[in-house]
Amino acid sequence: MYTLDQDNVRDITEKILSGSEFEKHGLYALHFMTENIHTPIMIGDAYETEGKDGIPSGLYQKLTGDSPYFLGFVDLNEGLTAIAKGFAGDEFEDDVEFIRDATGEFINRINGEYVIASSKSDIMLEMEPQLFLEEDEAASVIHPQCILHIPVNIGGCDAEMLFVKMKA
């Protein structure tokens, strides 16, 4: 795991995502984390799994364009609570709706900044509304081909950031 901060976000992103088609989007996401979650953040090495291995429950947002994909965050050990608390600045640890809403807005802001930056390079993307999907419905909605996992630890709580490439 690597300690992530504003001074090393580019270096760590290049180290864990070098050569990935999601490297630029990952940089936006990790940079947004360092600016908006004021809790120690650790990042693990990225790894890929095949879509047939399943897709976990979590919050997802689809980006459409030439090659549609989803950005998602999944909870491993209170990770979504840590994102919501760090991003919104409130402690509603038992309020599932608050946690989903705050994490959904977090994803929306990451993707919004990425879509705007991409448009300046003539890459046109659009965002669909965020969805909270349980594991059984996630695979039927997303149809994953492969999943890029980025382990995230926020103040001792674990989550994963996922980039999900869909089947054609």
Helix (H), strand (E) counts: the chain? 5, 9
Task: Give pLDDT, residue 32.
Answer: 93
β-bridge pairing 157-166 and 144-154: antiparallel
Tell me the DSSP string of 110-161: HHHHHHHHHHTTT---EEPPPEEE-HHHHHHHH-EEEEEEEEEEETTEEEEE
Q: What band does 113 get if pLDDT is binned at 50, 70 and 90?
A: very high
Residue 44 neighbours by CB distance under 10 Å: 15
Q: What band does 92 get if pLDDT is binned at 50, 70 and 90?
A: low
Instruction: Report the range out of 3-7, 48-52, 54-58 with the highest average pLDDT.
Output: 3-7
Give percent above pLDDT 70 in the chain.
Answer: 96
In the chain, the N- to C-terminal Cα span, in Å, equals: 33
Task: Give pLDDT, residue 85.
Answer: 85
Task: Give pLDDT, residue 3.
Answer: 95
> Which pLDDT tens digit goes with each residue over 2-42?
999 999 999 999 999 998 999 999 999 999 999 999 889 99
Q: Which two tokens stand for residue 21?
A: 């088609």
Q: How far apart are CA 103 and CA 106, in angstroms?
A: 5
With beta carbons less than 8 A apart as the criterion, state whether 148 and 51 touch: no
Q: What band does 127 get if pLDDT is binned at 50, 70 and 90?
A: very high
> Which pLDDT tens digit goes with each residue over 147-156?
999 999 998 9
Q: How far apart are CA 145 and CA 155, in angstroms?
A: 32
Q: What band does 93 get if pLDDT is binned at 50, 70 and 90?
A: low
Domains with residue ranges and CATH for the chain: 2-166 (3.40.1550.10)
Q: What band does 138 get if pLDDT is binned at 50, 70 and 90?
A: confident
Q: Which two tokens stand for residue 8?
A: 């090393």
Q: How far apart are CA 40 and CA 42, in angstroms?
A: 7
Name the CA dihedral angle for 79, 28, 133, 141, rounded to a multiple of 10 degrees: -150
